[in-house]
Amino acid sequence: MNIRIALTGNPNCGKTTLFNALTGSNQFVGNWPGVTVEKKEGKMKKYDGISVVDLPGIYSLSPYTPEEVVARNFLIGERPDVILNIVDGTSLERNLYLTTQLMEIGIPVVIAINMMDIVRKNGDKIDIETLEKKIGCRVVEISALKGTGIDEAAEAAIAAAQKKKSVPTHSFSGAVEHALAHIEEAAIHDMPADQQRWFAVKIFERDEKALEQLGLSQEIISHIETDIKAAEAELDDDSESIIANERYMYITGITTQCYKKKNLSRQSLSDKIDKIVTNRFLAFPIFVFVMMMVYVLSIGTVGDWTVVFMNEGLFGSFKDLDPGFFGYSLFSNWMSVPELLDKVLLSADGTPVIAEWLYSLIQDGVVGGVGAVLGFVPQIFVLFLLLSILEDIGYMSRVAFIMDRLFRKFGLSGKSFIPMLIASGCGVPGIMASRTIEQERDRRITVMTTGFIPCSAKMPVVGMIAAALFGGSPLIATSAYFLGIGAVVISGIILKKTKLFAGKPAPFVMELPAYHAPLPSNIWRATWERGWSFVKRAGTVIFAASVIIWILNSLSFSGGLHYITGDEKSILNVIGEVIAVIFAPLGFGSWQAAVATILGLVAKEEIVGVFGSLSSMAGVDETNYSFIASVIFGGSKLSAYSFLIFNLLCAPCFAAMGAIRREMNSAKWTVGAIGYMCAFAYAVSLIVYQFGAFFTTLHFTVGTAAAVIVLAFMLFMLLRKNRYSRNKRRKKQMKKSTGEK
Amino acid sequence: MKTLREIKVGSTAKVVKLHGEGPVKRRIMDMGITKGVEIYVRKVAPLGDPLELMVRGYELSLRKADAEMIEVE
């Protein structure tokens, strides 16, 4: 017996909870529309040879959103044996709308009505028997949360799959059925009978994806077009809307017979909560309070403590921790990872028992590089735990609701706020938090701009530059934040006007799911999956990057490739000299600055480390900033500030780049995002440095001219009209359609 | 022509026709806003946009720009 069950249903209908119950697999569920973007497959726990595929939550099978396309392609292309359609009993009509589309595919359908306990609690009634009779397929009552009815649903699905009998479909109005009959006859009569209905309806809707797949001849298309036009004329609407309208009419016909609502004007608990949470005056104070709590717990107190514990303790030395550090007495005599390795790798007199290069590779390369990233793990877990709770109870959609107006102005969505806030602690969880934005376009712009926010690792760099050249002025740190926020806003506006982000309009038509008490198992799964994926990356991408940087920094070309023991130039050093040319127009053309910028990709605070070791190599005390000021930046404040700007805005650290790669889920978009960040950083640094130089020296140079051109270009991109503006285009359409009337 | 945008918070309106076309219109219809359905305007977000609607027994948030496409009575 080999059966494949496809789970489909609206977002947030309990589909993934059911999937977990059926397969026991580790999977993320959130009280947020659109959590599953890709389909997931698992083997059923109690039955052999039966697999379950969890499709993304969708409202319809239109060709317009990535989730819907994934679900469609699977259902049509791979034809699973049975569709188990999970229906949220608390919003029956909207859920059955998808059901009517699923039933046309020609695959057996079983309906599992979820959340019946809430329906009953509300005093409403669904007559399952009548529904079953009217809609024409098996209907089972379940509670995914409590685990009831799940076996019955699974058995019903298996039985339906074995019978292989597809379900009857409802009929549309006469004019539509007439056109559908013509379409079936003209275009798809040689297709298996049970698949014709779906394609006929799609052709009638002029569904681009389906038409592309069928590859009909021009002759047939124009023949069909006359039938569609006739139906459109008769029903005075476009074909797509006719179908949507009639589906809902059909459903309303059924639900009036089987669904009894107790009291229409009654306020549910969720409504009462919303009265406060999205209240005109209270919404923002509550929001600020919640975000402060998240920030304080994850990035502030708890997070900060864990980062120090991990970075300076576990991957540094517990003995050297500040004695005032919380819990110091408890673990001051613990052994850290580097110390433990030393014990194994060093002989009694302090020389390595293995080759010196290998020792350095392990300690400086791997432990140093991966350790720097692993240090963020506990913080990330705390953060994801809190976010998962907010998500699970349904607060995140309310955040989007209250913030949308503000963020829409610069091409972002109301949901972009959370990634930005988190990124001020660490860009990695910040970028990962953009997951919760279900509009692909908004998600991509958020991922591309989140890295501009100065994270905690950039702060030491800011501090160093401020101390070395600006007498420790606090204005430098303040300006770093303004720079970051400015970069987000400007980039948002520039990006939203580009063709790249104009193709698909992203309507903000979002369900506000009812609040519910957090479910510990869901929250734990969500936290674990997100946190674990970060750890996995630290073990792969970051590990590889650390090793490569170590190799470049420890080997020398001069006189044959060899491991550096003395004062020779490393490969990285040579590369730095070459790259320095690129940075010359920005005012920091020294090789040291170039090398620091490259090593900053491992971790931004590494820049401080590089300058420190360069200082000590030059025989200057690490904390004496005169070397940095005079040798690296030639005593120029402008050069140093330009360097700071570039490093704050350019490509983030490897860990964050890995996060971008994961969230973009495309190599092209990853390269594009990082390329954009670098280009933007370069442009801003160039403008600041060249204009600064012009105003101090009053010499108009080639560089000044270049800066003028770049600035003019940026202003043009920023201020030009949005040719792809959705609203403008729509207003035109509206005029047209009302004018015709 | 009266649109959903003009409906006061706390009142209910019946959809007469949907204007516009393509993905946005389809999405709005997919979410249950079709001819003849009753929409209750529950509230406006604190910054004045989007709207929170009650349609077909659930809560939906919709921007005013999109609400303008929905003709009501």
Interval A141-174: pLDDT, tens: 998 888 889 999 999 999 999 988 777 778 898 9
Instruction: Give the residue, A230 or A352, on which the prediction is more confident.
Output: A230
Distance CA A696, CA A698 (A): 6
Cβ–Cβ < 8 Å for A543, A366: yes
- Ranking A223-232, A352-361, B46-55 by mean pLDDT, the lowest is A352-361
Residues of B within 8 A of A249 (CB-CB) are 34, 36
Q: Given a cut of 70, is residue A663 above it in pLDDT?
A: yes
Residues of A within 8 A of B59 (CB-CB) are 274, 511-514
> Helix A654-664 to helix A440-450 angle, to the nearest 10 degrees?
170
Q: Identify the CATH class of A3-163.
A: alpha beta
Token pair 């936290």 in the structure block, residue = A527
Looking at residue A438, its pLDDT comes to: 66
Distance CA B46, CA B65 (A): 16
Q: Given a cut of 90, is residue A22 above it in pLDDT?
A: no
Q: Rounded to 10 degrees, what is the CA torsion of A569, A572, A578, A584?
A: -100
Residues of B within 8 A of A65 (CB-CB) are 27
Looking at residue A503, its pLDDT comes to: 56
Distance CA A574, CA A457 (A): 26
Instruction: Determine whether the interchain pair B20/A405 forms a contact, defined as Cβ–Cβ distance below 8 Å.
Output: no
- Choose among A62, A97, A504: nearest Cβ to B26: A62
Instruction: Determine whether the interchain pair A248/B34 forms a contact, defined as Cβ–Cβ distance below 8 Å.
Output: yes
Token pair 């202003």 in the structure block, residue = A715
Distance CA A328, CA A281 (A): 44
First to last CA, chain B: 9
Q: Which two three-digit tokens encode residue A24? A: 């026991």
Q: Can you give the residue ranges of every domain in chain B?
A: 4-72
Distance CA B68, CA B54 (A): 17
Looking at residue A523, its pLDDT comes to: 83
Instruction: Determine whether the interchain pair A60/B30 forms a contact, defined as Cβ–Cβ distance below 8 Å.
Output: yes
Q: Given a cut of 90, is residue A694 above it in pLDDT?
A: yes
Mean pLDDT taken over chain A = 84
The answer to whether residue B50 neighbours chain A at the CB level (below 8 Å) is yes
- Choose among B27, B29, B57: nearest Cβ to A93: B57
Looking at residue A31, its pLDDT comes to: 40
Q: Given a cut of 50, is residue A293 above it in pLDDT?
A: yes
**pLDDT band at A35; cut points 50, 70, 90:** very low
Nearest CA distance, B1 vs chain A (angstrom): 9
**CA distances, A171 to each of A167, A184, A342, A645, B22 (Å):** 13, 15, 77, 64, 24
Instruction: Determine whether the interchain pair B46/A261 forms a contact, defined as Cβ–Cβ distance below 8 Å.
Output: no
Token pair 């409906």 in the structure block, residue = B7
CATH superfamily entry for domain B4-72: Ferrous iron transport protein A (FeoA) (2.30.30.90)
Q: Given a cut of 60, is residue A122 above it in pLDDT?
A: yes
Instruction: Determine whether the interchain pair B66/A509 forms a contact, defined as Cβ–Cβ distance below 8 Å.
Output: yes
A83 - beta bridge partners? Answer: A6, A109
Q: Can you give the residue ranges of every domain in chain A?
A: 3-163, 290-322+330-456+474-503, 541-701
Token pair 């971790």 in the structure block, residue = A603
* Pairing, β A510-511 against β B58-62: antiparallel
Looking at residue A725, its pLDDT comes to: 59
Secondary structure of A45-56 in HEC code, one letter for each residue? CCCCCEEEEECC
The one-letter amino acid at A489: V
**pLDDT band at A527; cut points 50, 70, 90:** confident
Give pLDDT tens digits for A315-362: 888 888 888 888 888 888 888 888 888 888 888 888 888 888 888 888
Give the nearest chain B residue to A504 (CA atoms): B23
**pLDDT band at B11; cut points 50, 70, 90:** very high
Q: Which two three-digit tokens encode residue B5? A: 């945008």
Give the nearest chain B residue to A730 (CA atoms): B20
Q: What is the DSSP string of A199-236?
A: HHHHHHTT-HHHHHHHT--HHHHHHHHHHHHHHHHHHT
Percent residues over pLDDT 90 in chain A: 33
- Choose among A62, A244, A507: nearest Cβ to B66: A507
Give pLDDT tens digits for A52-103: 888 888 899 988 777 788 889 899 988 999 999 999 999 999 999 999 999 9
- Ranking A293-297, A646-650, A692-696, B44-48 by mean pLDDT, the lowest is A293-297
